[in-house]
Structure 1
Amino acid sequence: MGRATAQAKTPGAAPLLSIGQVLARLTSDFPDLTPSKLRFLEERDLIAPARTESGYRKFSSADVERLRFILTMQRDHYLPLKVIREYLVELDAGREPELPGGTTLSGPSILSTERKFKRDELVREAGATTQLLGDAVSSSLIAASDVYGDDALSVLTSLVELQKSGIEPRHLRGFRAAAERELGLIESALIPVARRKDASSRAKAGELAREIAGQLEIVRSSLIRSALTRLDP
Structure 2
Amino acid sequence: MATQLESALDSAAKLALDSKTLVRIVLSGRRRNMSVPFERIDIRPVLIKDELVYQIMQNDGRVTTTKNITQKDFNPMSYLDLGYANILVEHMAGSLSIRITKKGEAQVHEDKVAREQNLEHDRKKTRLLDSADPFLIEVGISDTNGKVKPTRADKYLQVEEFLRLLVPTLNSAISAKQIAEPTTSKPLVIADLGCGNAYLTFAVHQYLKSMDIPVHVIGIDIRPESLKRNTEIAMKLGISQSIEFKAEA
TM-score interval, smaller chain: under 0.3
With the length of structure 2 as denominator, give the TM-score of the two structures: 0.24
TM-score by length of 1: 0.25
The structure whose residues are more often helix, as a share, is: 1
Larger strand share, 1 or 2: 2
If asked which structure has higher relative contact order (CA below 8 Å, sep 6+), I would say 1
